[in-house]
C-alpha cells in the first residue's frame, strides 16, 4: 500500500515548479528555445514573421524592440493581442514564439478567439 500523506503538503510547490520554462528562472519565454503551443487557432500566428502578421492583421498598433526581441501589438474592439518575435539564431529574421491576449479592460481572453476576431477586423472594408 502506497502512502501519499507525507507528500501532500508539497504538491502545490511541485506543480508550480513543473510550469517553469527550462533555462528561464522567471518562466518567461526563452529566445534560444521557442515555446511550441498546440492550441487550435494559434498556428495562424506562431512562427510567422512581422510582415506575415501585418498582412494578417494590418499595421501594428505598437512596435517595440528590446535587443533582438520584437513585440508587435494589435488592438481591436474585442481584444488586444501581443506577439513576441525572436530570431532562432543571430542574423535570422525573428518569428513569433509567444502570444498573449486580453480584453480591452485587461482580463485574459482565449488567444485563438482574439486571433480570429482581429483577422475578421482586418478583412473588413
Name the CATH code of domain 30-123 (choices 2.60.40, 3.30.1450, 3.30.70, 3.40.50): 3.30.1450
Average pLDDT over residues 12-26: 44
Residues of the chain with pLDDT > 70, as a percent, come to 65
Per-domain boundaries in the chain: 30-123
Nine cell digits for residue 65: 524592440
Nearest 5°: CA angle at 87, between 85 and 93?
90
> What's residue 24's pLDDT?
41
For residue range 39-82, list pLDDT tens digits in order: 678 999 999 999 999 999 999 999 999 888 999 999 999 999 99
Q: Give the H/E segment covering residue 99.
A: strand 95-102
Asked if residue 104 lies in contact with residue 125, where contact means CB atoms within 8 angstroms, the answer is no
Amino acid at each position: 500500500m502506497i502512502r501519499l500523506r507525507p507528500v501532500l503538503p508539497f504538491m502545490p510547490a511541485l506543480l508550480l515548479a513543473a510550469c517553469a520554462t527550462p533555462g528561464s528562472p522567471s518562466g518567461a519565454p526563452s529566445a534560444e528555445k521557442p515555446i511550441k503551443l498546440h492550441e487550435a487557432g494559434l498556428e495562424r500566428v506562431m512562427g510567422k514573421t512581422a510582415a506575415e502578421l501585418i498582412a494578417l492583421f494590418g499595421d501594428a498598433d505598437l512596435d517595440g524592440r528590446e535587443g533582438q526581441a520584437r513585440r508587435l501589438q494589435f488592438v481591436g474592439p474585442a481584444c488586444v493581442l501581443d506577439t513576441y518575435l525572436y530570431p532562432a539564431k543571430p542574423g535570422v529574421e525573428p518569428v513569433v514564439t509567444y502570444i498573449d491576449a486580453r480584453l480591452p479592460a485587461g482580463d485574459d481572453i482565449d488567444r485563438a478567439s482574439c486571433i480570429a476576431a482581429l483577422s475578421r477586423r482586418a478583412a473588413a472594408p
